[in-house]
Amino acid sequence: MRIADPVSSDQLYATADRIPASPGAYLLLVELREVTFVKLPSKPSLSLMPGRYIYAGSANGPGGLKTRVSRHTRRAKRSRWHIDQLTENGDVLGAWFFPGGVECDLVDMNSALPVPIVGFGSTDCERCRSHLLGPICANLGHALEVLVR
């Protein structure tokens, strides 16, 4: 028996409805339609140009990937992480998820993409310069091709 429309990590999910509640890592695709100013602790404000950006994150707490991606898609939330500045000002287009994955491995796999802000999402990471990559091309098909290689 074949399962119709299986959930797969090589697909971009626009909502968290079908993302599992297991721990792992994810790539969030965020589109900024205007210049967005970002403030990291102890650093001056920096600007991000309009475009599409990829954020690598992890979700190892209660509710796992489903809860974390769902939070990122909500508006008017308390700002807790660097990425909240982008998700409040831009549009979350979706997420790729990797159960049991490690966010730094996802950054490594996509190291050909530019790093717009050093330290973004990675202030506690000794391995990565940033967990934010981009801007990337506007073509989602090409972006997915780059990401899953």
* Largest Cα–Cα separation, the chain: 57
Select the more confidently predicted residue: 143 or 29.
Answer: 29
> What's the number of domains the chain is made of?
1
Q: CA 92 to CA 85: how far, in whole Å?
A: 12
Q: What is the pTM of this model?
A: 0.86
Predicted local distance difference test score (pLDDT) of residue 6: 45
- Give the structural domain span for 39: 24-147
Report CA 34 to chain centroid distance, whole Å: 18
Residue 17, domain member (yes or no): no
Q: Which pLDDT band, with edges at 50, 70 and 90, does 127 fall under?
A: very high
DSSP 90: S
Give the tens place of pLDDT for each residue, 74-117: 988 888 899 999 999 999 999 999 999 999 999 999 999 999 99
Q: Contact, 127 vs 111, CB < 8 A? A: no
Residue 6, domain member (yes or no): no
Q: CA 149 to CA 33: how far, in whole Å?
A: 27
Q: Contact, 136 vs 51, CB < 8 A? A: yes
Q: Which pLDDT band, with edges at 50, 70 and 90, does 5 fall under?
A: very low
Give the tens place of pLDDT for each residue, 7-62: 556 789 999 999 999 999 999 999 999 999 999 988 899 999 999 999 999 999 99
Q: CA 15 to CA 41: how far, in whole Å?
A: 30
Q: Provide the token pair at 32.
A: 């900024």
Residue 18, domain member (yes or no): no
